[in-house]
Structures are given as structure tokens and as C-alpha cells.
Amino acid sequence: MTAAIVVGCSLLLFLGLLVVIVWGNRRIRVPVDEASSRDQREGSVQYTDQREARTEAKLRALRRYFWWANVVTFSALVSAVLAAWPGGRLIMRILAHTSPDSAQGRLTEAQANIGFPTLEGSMALLFFGGLPAGYFAALLYVVLRRWLPTGRLAGPLLGAVLLLWFGALLDPLRADNIDFSIVEPGWLAVALFGGLAVLHGAVVAAAAGWWSGRVPLWRDESFRYYTPLLIGAVVFPPAGVAVGIGALLLLIWMSTFPLSFLRAAHSWRIPAWVGTAVVVLASAAALPVFVTAVISITSRTS
């Protein structure tokens, strides 16, 4: 079983690297709403009443919303299965081999036995580690993408930024994680998890860029393109609940404010320099905590 887990995870991680190599230079391409573009060229559309105009605006907003949800879900699933999950599993195996005999068989923070990988433990890592990390990274990539460099640097930089912002607070480099007092060496754990974070970000960006170029806005005939959204809701129900709540909040938003305000709000854009400044300042603020956690991990002995 151990050999099968190692070989399987190695193959998945290799496929993740292949995704980055082939699609790593692609950026998200938002499809054009042909009906909306035609309306803008021809001038204001004359609806029979205000209710009809608002209904059409809601439908267009929902099509855009589910398009984004679909892109996020696809990149989350791909990055979880091809990076976060197999990478985390392999790192655990490597650290089990480099740790002293006294560490073998001891319980980790997640109540797993070091040095004894199981299929149940691997599946738990997917559902409680890989998938949440995939969705988290994919969602933040959509938010931050305009303020990241273009080309192949966007994904790796995303992974580095997320590791810096959240690695020492949540995982994988949380200083109070008891696992780092058991496995050795600490510097190897930091290096491996840091490399995995960079790869994870690269897979997220590559998958999102590729899929965005293939998915049209929602239409009756485009259902097959939204299969990832359905799969995500089934294998990771919290994501399905979040998408449903988001759609409900969007409808409330579209029903509350005047159409003139909604049209103006749709054109709002945060200047690129403002977003970049926020990313830089947030990274500078997170750096002391991250460095402290790294020093704590690398200086421990079991």
C-alpha cells in the first residue's frame, strides 16, 4: 500500500508539473457577453417596463457569476488533485524517512501515525487538506490576478504570497503545529512546503487560464462546460453551499439598488497601482510572523 501511494502521488505531481509547463503562461480570459456588447453599440435598450430591464440585468449578472464560480472550481479541483494533495502526501513520506526512529509510529496533530501511510489517511488529506487549499488559492487568484505580473510568474508568485500571508497562521508552517517537534529536519520541512506552495499557485493559475479560454457564459447549450461546478459541489459540499449563498446575495444586491447604480458599479475598477500596493504592504506586514515561524521550526529538535 505504501508503494502504491508513493507512486500514485508522484504520478499526480508529475501531471501537475506538466500542466504548469504547457499552460503556465495563460491568463484568465473573460468571455464577452454578446448581447450586452450589442446593446452598448446600439444604445440603451427600450424595455417595456422597469421590471423587464431588471430581470435581464439579473440574468446577465448570474451568467457572469456562475462563469467565475466554474473557473474557480475547475482550478481548485485540478490544483488540489495535482499539487496540494499528492505534494503534501509525498512530503509526509520524505519527512518520515528523514526523521529519527523515535518519531516512527507517533501520532501527528491530525492523529495519523508517522511512517505508516494508509488509504484512509490519504483520502482524509484530500478532503480536509487538499480541496480546502485548492479552493482557497483559486479564489484568491481570481481576486489578486490583476495585480500579479503577467506570464509564468503570476502563479508561482501567488503561491509565495499565500504562503507568506497564511502559511504561519493556518498551514503548512504554523509554529504551534506539534508535528514539527517530531519530524526532522525542520529546514527540510520548510523547504519542501515552500516549494509545494509555489507549485500549487502555478497549477492554479495555469488551470484557470486554460479553462477560462474554453468556457462560454452560461447558455442552455453550454451545460457540459459547467460540469466541474457540479462535481465540486458533490465532492466538496461547502463549496456548493458557498456558491449557492453567493448567488442568493447577488440576487438580493441586484434587487435592492437602482439599475443606474448597478450599471455604474459594474464599471468600477480598483487602480492597478492601488492593488499592487496593498499586496506589497500586506506581505511586509506578514513577513515578521512568517520569519518567526520559520526560525521556530528550523531550530527545533525532536
- Give residue-wise pLDDT tens across range 69-79: 999 999 999 99
First to last CA, the chain: 28
Over its C-alpha atoms, the chain yields an Rg (Å, rounded) of: 22
Helix axis angle, 227-235 to 50-79, nearest 10°: 60
When comparing pLDDT for 56 and 70, which is higher?
A: 70
For the entire predicted model, the pTM comes to 0.91
- Whether the bond between 185 and the residue before it is cis, its omega within 30 degrees of 0, is yes
Sorted by sequence, the CB contacts under 8 Å of residue 111 that are 6+ apart come out as none
* Per-chain mean pLDDT for the chain: 89
pLDDT band at 218 (very low <50, low <70, confident <90, very high): confident
Measured between alpha carbons, how far is 64 from 187 in angstroms, rounded to an integer? 44
